[in-house]
Structure 1
Amino acid sequence: MLQYETKIDAKQLKGKDFLTLLDFSSDEIFYLLELASKMKKEQKDGKISNVLQGRSLGMIFENASTRTRVSFEVGMTQLGGHALFLSPRDLQIGRGEPISDTAQVLSRYVDAIMVRTNSHEKVEELAKYSTVPVINALTDFYHPCQALADLLTIYEHKGSFQGNKLVYVGDGNNVAHSLVIAAAKVGMDIAVATPVGYEMNSDIIEKAQEVAKTTGATILITNDPIEAVSDADIIYTDVWASMGFESEQKEREEAFGPFQVNHSLVSYAKSDYIFLHCLPAHRGEEVTAEIIDDSKHSVIYDEAENRLHVQKAILASVIK
């Protein structure tokens, strides 16, 4: 389990939206990680929790999902609650009903709303009109639940955040945004290498750098993957063409070729590096099979499992 002494009252998270890690203090993030670690151990020990008995989660999905849907649904079940899957076909929002109406109606039925959509503005609007907590399960700008799972996985395998260098190689997308914020919040050094023209959002970088000044983390932004990976403790990548960018697949393959995580690139990292990927992965594109399937370094399935535990911690905290 994590060994951090947080200075917060757990009750202060009740009713709070989980839209981006920028909205959470370092202590609040450490609290969620500690709770996730505790819940994970209890599950392994066969202990059953009914902390959310009689509570319901509305899950709005506007695009496909494996890990997000299963982990949230199973998480609510393990906590004694109920999760309701809602696609655009199931909701009037898919036929043009205002988000404000959907938010206010669902708030009368469920105890929290989880949403996965390509528009962060839509999540913010949903939270504005909802009277129950709203959880961002992925938008075009952020993927905070994934970043929290990444932090838990890194801690489990490295034993600390400070003194470790996390490197992200690939598209400057929602995963990269949340990862940089997460690293800054916990005081972990991070380097991000993207091709020219595929950099991260400059405003998000600036916000992360402001956080890093208070925690002692360093943030390196570069277009050189070798510079980024040098002396890395953790290497992370994502698909080259995320959902919504499939039409750019061919041009992205050309731009991202030098950024493939392969044997040559990881040779610049520390010998005991670990490899992370949020999945799904395209072997032979952003990462070679020999790297992602290497049991000595790849911890992608631990990372995927930890989605369940951090989301249980989020649900338990913001609902009850």
Structure 2
Amino acid sequence: MVTGDSSGRPLLSLGGLGTEEISEICDIAYRFGQAPREFAGALDGTRVGLVFTAPSTRTRISFWCAARTLGCDVLHVGPADLQLSTGETWSDTGLMLANYLDVVVARTNGPQRELAELAVHVPATINALTYEEHPTQAIADLCALREHFGDVENLRLAYLGAVNNTARALALLVCKLPFGGLDVYSPADLGFSAAEIESLNAVRGREMIRQYEEMPTSVDPVDAVYTARWNSMSEVQQDRDWLSRYAPFAVTAETMKRFSGSTEAVFMHDLPAVRGQETTSDVLDGTSVTSLVRRQAHYKESAAASALLWSVGGS
């Protein structure tokens, strides 16, 4: 096992990392995405637990694939395998896991504090998605943008739809790295809170995040338009008319034209998608616009590998 500090370090939120740390993680991810075989066996023998208490396709499989490439021994742990369902706390669960695992990769769909409790006992705890944030998705997104544009400096993005964990990670990425800014278009009461926007803009000391509650006739052009599944956490919607509230924020080929300036805006989506809701198939598949969706999915494994390497101190 190639490690620095044997206790490891957590990757719970991009908000807790400095610009240099995020750049380091993203550089590793980009390099892995170009030549994964160069990293083969880098974490040979490291014991990784994939603790997924919520459904996952891409994130779980990408972490498994990355861990296997790095030479890790991997254990899958589902909700039926844990005593959380019988009342045990995340802290007590972490106390037990610390005896057997070097790294815990956890997806909970729950509050961030659960992983913080886990990380007290297993320092190398990686957030593979909580209700608040999806940091490794942002790392994959950055790799796809870097591949397409060459550099992210001064790139401006637009995010359409309700703010969720993906949007929060994306906003942190924009504010921590030299992006030009992020324009958020969300239905009323479904965007960032005023306190969140103030906190995000304070990172760079200027207005990086702008938010709108409707789709105006004229929009400022951007380099990339990002959307996500409207009902991303599969929550029961209390508003029976929720689909009509979201409808103006759907991304179509016409939407992409509106957001394009002197150059064509590219399309991004974290997947899974509901075709015909948040976007149309021609946009998602890239038949009418330039879509980075497949490259985002490609870099999911890269983001997972970089998170594992960084958390255990692997070079």
Same fold (TM over 0.5): yes
Matched residue SS, 1:138 = coil
- 2:25 & 2:217 partners in 1: Cα distance? 33
Matched residue SS, 1:109 = coil
- Counterpart of 2:286 in structure 1 is 294
- Counterpart of 2:246 in structure 1 is 256
Matched, 1:181 2:176: no
Range that drifts further, 228-237 or 115-124 = 228-237
- Counterpart of 2:61 in structure 1 is 70
Which residue identity is paired with 1:124?
A: A
Q: CA deviation at 1:13?
A: 11
Matched residue SS, 2:98 = helix
Q: Equivalent residues in 2 for 1:179-218 (5 A)?
A: 179-188=170-179, 189-213=181-205, 218=208
- 1:73 & 1:268 partners in 2: Cα distance? 39
- 1:202 & 1:78 partners in 2: Cα distance? 43
Which residue identity is paired with 2:135?
A: P
Question: Is residue 37–residue 309 contact of structure 1 (8 Å, CA) maintained in 2?
Answer: yes
Q: Deviations over 1:49-98 (max 9, x none)?
A: 21111111111111100011100011100000022111110111222122
- 1:279 & 1:108 partners in 2: Cα distance? 35
Which residue identity is paired with 1:316?
A: L
Range that drifts further, 118-127 or 244-253 = 244-253
Q: Deviations over 1:265-317 (max 9, x none)?
A: 11112242111100000111000112111255111011011110011011011
Q: CA deviation at 1:29?
A: 0.9
Question: Is residue 115–residue 134 contact of structure 1 (8 Å, CA) maintained in 2?
Answer: yes
Matched, 1:220 2:210: yes
Q: What's the TM-score once normalised by structure 2's chain length?
A: 0.91
Matched residue SS, 1:113 = strand
Which residue identity is paired with 1:234?
A: A
- 1:14 & 1:317 partners in 2: Cα distance? 12
Which residue identity is paired with 1:88?
A: P
Distance verdict in 2 for CA 1:157–1:223, change over 3 Å = same
Q: CA deviation at 1:208?
A: 1.4
Q: CA deviation at 1:237?
A: 0.2
- 2:218 & 2:138 partners in 1: Cα distance? 19
Distance verdict in 2 for CA 1:162–1:230, change over 3 Å = same
Which residue identity is paired with 2:144?
A: T
Which residue identity is paired with 1:257?
A: A
- 2:6 & 2:207 partners in 1: Cα distance? 25
Which residue identity is paired with 1:313?
A: S
- Counterpart of 2:43 in structure 1 is 52
Residue 18 of structure 1, aligned match among 11, 16, 19:
11
Range that drifts further, 73-82 or 243-252 = 243-252
Which residue identity is paired with 1:34?
A: D
Q: CA deviation at 1:102?
A: 0.7
- 2:102 & 2:182 partners in 1: Cα distance? 36
Range that drifts further, 237-246 or 59-68 = 237-246
Q: CA deviation at 1:236?
A: 0.3
Distance verdict in 2 for CA 1:267–1:14, change over 3 Å = farther
- Counterpart of 2:269 in structure 1 is 277
Residue 31 of structure 1, aligned match among 24, 37, 50:
24
Gaps of 5+ in 2: none
Gaps of 5+ in 1: 1-9
Residue 144 of structure 2, aligned match among 142, 153, 160:
153
Range that drifts further, 196-205 or 73-82 = 196-205
Range that drifts further, 244-253 or 134-143 = 244-253
Residue 71 of structure 2, aligned match among 58, 76, 80:
80
Matched, 1:116 2:116: no
Matched residue SS, 1:235 = strand
Matched, 1:172 2:168: no
Number of positions where the alignment pairs a residue of Structure 1 with one of Structure 2: 306
Residue 41 of structure 1, aligned match among 34, 58, 62:
34
- Counterpart of 1:6 in structure 2 is none
Q: CA deviation at 1:121?
A: 2.1
Which residue identity is paired with 1:33?
A: C
Matched residue SS, 1:225 = coil
Q: Which has the higher contact order (CA 8 A, sep 6+)?
A: 2
Q: CA RMSD in A?
A: 2.1
- 1:34 & 1:228 partners in 2: Cα distance? 36
Matched residue SS, 2:251 = coil
Q: CA deviation at 1:199?
A: 1.3
- Counterpart of 1:106 in structure 2 is 97
More helix by share: 1
Which residue identity is paired with 1:61?
A: F
Matched residue SS, 2:278 = coil
